[in-house]
């Protein structure tokens, strides 16, 4: 059975899956990364929302890039890849993004918050790594969340939906977190 090793929130884990047809076609025995994370590894941060890449609730980072784990198949995650989820974000204390979302009361039902936090984490870390250490403006955050701007240059832009209409508080929380993260 094909197998690879990835780092899941810093720990090495094996990703096994069934045979993938060599000439294309469905990877019958593979499975969505979301199911693999939730059901095999007890990760409860990423959530099943739409299941068709439209909402962002399932977002995790693969090598720093936000990906939609509802449709990303485990067998497409590269050997040695770094997978980060909301479950691994806090280290001793809440991550600045988590703290800011609480400070700003940036949720109603909270179903979208995994995507808001993980997507903006990938975006902000990418900006900082590229040397842009400005706190993004309201407009820049809105452009990111609405899919106008990609998390990294060259990546596919993705949108992040909040069905409760908490977007204004979410924007404020991301900007507050950025202020803390650049210190
Ligand atoms: S559940 Fe994956 S994008 Fe909606
Ligand atoms: S807080 Fe309910 S979907 Fe965003």
Domain boundary among 64, 88, 112: 88
Q: Which atom of ligand 2 is nearest to the CA of 164?
A: 2
Domain boundary among 58, 88, 118: 88
What is the CATH classification number for the domain harbouring 27? 3.10.20.30
> 14 and 75 share a domain?
yes
pLDDT of residue 1: 61
Q: Please list every protein residue whose CB sits less than 6 Å from any atom of ligand 2.
A: 107-112, 162-164, 166
Compute the distance between CA of residue 3 and CA of residue 144 in angstroms, rounded to an integer. Answer: 35
pLDDT of residue 87: 98
CA angle 157, 119, 179 (to 5 degrees): 115
Q: Going by C-beta distance under 8 Å and a sequence separation of 6 or more, which residues neighbour residue 23?
A: none
Q: Going by C-beta distance under 8 Å and a sequence separation of 6 or more, which residues neighbour residue 71?
A: 32, 51, 52, 53
pLDDT of residue 20: 52
CA of 133 to the centre of ligand 2 (A): 28
**How many domains, in total, are found in the chain?**
2
pLDDT of residue 18: 59
Say how many residues make up the chain: 183
> 107 and 131 share a domain?
yes
Q: Which atom of ligand 2 is nearest to the CA of 165?
A: 4
Would you say 165 and 85 are in contact if contact means Cβ atoms under 8 Å apart?
no
Domain that holds residue 171: 96-181
Domain boundary among 30, 53, 88: 88
Compute the distance between CA of residue 30 and CA of residue 155 in angstroms, rounded to an integer. Answer: 24
Tens-binned pLDDT, residue by residue, of the chain (183 aa): 667 899 999 999 988 765 555 544 444 457 899 999 999 999 999 999 999 999 999 999 999 999 999 999 988 899 999 999 999 999 999 999 999 999 999 999 999 999 999 999 999 999 999 999 999 999 999 999 999 999 999 999 999 999 999 999 999 999 999 999 999
Task: Point out the ligand nearest to the CA of residue 70.
Answer: 1
Would you say 103 and 170 are in contact if contact means Cβ atoms under 8 Å apart?
no
Task: Point out the ligand nearest to the CA of residue 158.
Answer: 1
> 120 and 104 share a domain?
yes
> 112 and 38 share a domain?
no
CA of 50 to the centre of ligand 1 (A): 5
57 lines ligand 1 (CB under 6 A): yes
Compute the distance between CA of residue 86 and CA of residue 84 in angstroms, rounded to an integer. Answer: 7
Q: Regarding beta strands 65-68 and 82-84, do their DSSP bridges make them parallel or antiparallel, or are they unpaired?
A: unpaired
Q: What is the pTM of this model?
A: 0.93
pLDDT of residue 30: 76
> 170 and 138 share a domain?
yes
Rg (CA), the chain: 16
């Amino acid at each position: 059975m094909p197998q690879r090793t990835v780092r899941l929130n810093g720990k090495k884990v094996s990703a096994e899956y069934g045979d993938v047809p060599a000439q294309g076609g469905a990877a019958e025995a593979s499975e969505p990364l979301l199911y693999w994370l939730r059901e095999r590894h007890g990760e409860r941060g990423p959530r099943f929302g739409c299941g068709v890449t439209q909402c962002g609730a399932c977002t995790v980072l693969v090598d720093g890039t936000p990906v939609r784990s509802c449709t990303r198949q485990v067998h497409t995650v590269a050997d040695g890849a770094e997978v980060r989820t909301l479950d691994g974000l806090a280290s001793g204390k809440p991550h600045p993004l988590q703290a800011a979302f609480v400070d700003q009361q940036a949720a109603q039902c909270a179903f979208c918050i995994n995507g808001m936090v993980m997507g903006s984490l990938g975006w902000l870390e990418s900006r900082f790594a590229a040397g842009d250490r400005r706190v993004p403006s309201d407009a820049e955050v809105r452009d990111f969340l609405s899919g106008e701007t990609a998390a990294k240059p060259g990546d596919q832009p993705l949108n992040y939906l909040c069905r409760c209409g908490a977007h204004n508080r979410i924007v404020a929380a991301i900007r507050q977190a950025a202020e803390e993260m650049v210190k």
